[in-house]
Amino acid sequence: MLTPFDDDDRVDLPRTRQLVDFLLDHGVHGLMVGGTTGEGMLLSLEEREHLCEAVVEHVGGRAPIIAHTGCIGTADTLRLTRHAASAGATAAAMIVPYFYSFDVVSLLGHYLTVAASVPDFPLFIYAFPDNARNDIGPDLLQKLRTEAPNILGVKSTNRELIRFQEYIEVGGEGFLAFNGVDGLMLPALALGADGQVSGNANVFPEVFRELYEAFVQGDMERARDQQRLVNHIRRAFRDGRHPSYLKAGLALRGIPAGRVRKPMRELTSQEADQLTHDLRALGLV
């Protein structure tokens, strides 16, 4: 889920609530708050806590909420994860500690420390090696699952489907695997993914929902058609890596999603015009 900011660079909670309603009204099954698309790493700890509280309160039990609580350090991850549990989130997802190169022993200790602090709260490992620099291998995931029963699954943003399949194989009974690469949504579902965590779906949630429903219903022709449409959407939004594209796309649908936080930048007029042209050509706006 995106995080709207106002003209003074503050989290815009009224627009956040409006976005929540838009997404739920268009059939998403759950929300992930404060993640990569939500510019979570550009928020202070206090802002991340307030954002989590606001979304939990506004959702009011209408859908599950995964709060992203991962930080570069263990102490801050502990703080945000405990807060998410007390605030009423359904679960927390934690990005692999980033920037520095951490070995397997360090990552194991990090996640086991956090998991032990909230033993009854469901947790997801958020594996995003391109951005985090560090990765979670299948052996490490298996060890985490064995030693921390509340680590229930993984959110994998990795173009290597072999790795995704390895996660499912070592996850065991009750394991939940969510894919984060929109271009691989259908292949991931075919391998056993339980769902898709998508930044691009902020703007066109119904397209992603329809792909999922077509797959579940066994209508592979419709599912492939929807995957092709998802791929066009990805390209129009530069694969969701720049939240300014997504916020501009929402504005075209009449949902004001605010600004991005610096050093993120807004779209140029030329970029905005191209985006409008691309989405109109697809018949989406």
In a domain, 285, yes or no: no
Instruction: Please tell me which residue in 111, 126, 167, 212 is annotated as part of the active site.
Output: 126
- Distance from C-alpha of 20 to C-alpha of 4, rounded to nearest angstrom: 11
The whole-number pLDDT of residue 196 equals 98
Which pLDDT tens digit goes with each residue over 237-253? 998 789 999 999 999 99
In a domain, 7, yes or no: no
**Cβ atoms of 131 and 161 closer than 8 Å:** no
- Distance from C-alpha of 167 to C-alpha of 176, rounded to nearest angstrom: 10
Q: Is 262 a catalytic residue?
A: no
Cα distances (Å, whole numbers) of residue 185 to 36, 130, 195, 242:
18, 18, 8, 20
Domain tally, the chain: 1
The whole-number pLDDT of residue 180 equals 97
In a domain, 284, yes or no: no
Residue 168 pLDDT > 80, yes or no? yes
Query: In Å, how far from its chain's centre is CA 25?
Result: 19
Average pLDDT over residues 172-197: 97
Residue 66 pLDDT > 80, yes or no? yes
The whole-number pLDDT of residue 212 equals 98
List the beta strands (DSSP E) in the chain: 31-33, 65-68, 91-95, 123-127, 151-156, 176-179, 195-196
The helix or strand, by DSSP H or E, that contains position 161, with its residue range, turns out to be helix 161-171
Residue 192: give its domain's CATH number.
Answer: 3.20.20.70
Which pLDDT tens digit goes with each residue over 72-100? 999 999 999 999 999 999 999 999 999 99
The whole-number pLDDT of residue 284 equals 95
Residue 277 pLDDT > 80, yes or no? yes
Looking at every residue in the chain, the average pLDDT score rounds to 97
In a domain, 4, yes or no: no
In a domain, 64, yes or no: yes
Q: Is 247 a catalytic residue?
A: no
- Distance from C-alpha of 198 to C-alpha of 26, rounded to nearest angstrom: 14
184 is in which domain, residue-wise?
A: 13-271
Instruction: Please tell me which residue in 155, 167, 212, 247 is annotated as part of the active site.
Output: 155
In a domain, 277, yes or no: no
271: pLDDT confidence band, cut at 50, 70 and 90?
Answer: very high
Token pair in block for residue 149: 């029963």
221: pLDDT confidence band, cut at 50, 70 and 90?
Answer: very high
The whole-number pLDDT of residue 239 equals 87
In a domain, 184, yes or no: yes
State what percent of residues in the chain have pLDDT above 90: 99
The whole-number pLDDT of residue 241 equals 81
Closest to 187 measured CA to CA, from 158, 152, 207: 158
Query: In Å, how far from its chain's centre is CA 139?
Result: 24
The whole-number pLDDT of residue 240 equals 77
> What is the greatest pairwise CA distance in the chain?
52
In a domain, 124, yes or no: yes
pTM of the shown model: 0.96
Residue 267 exposed, middle or buried by CB count within 10 Å (0-12, 13-18, 19+) = middle
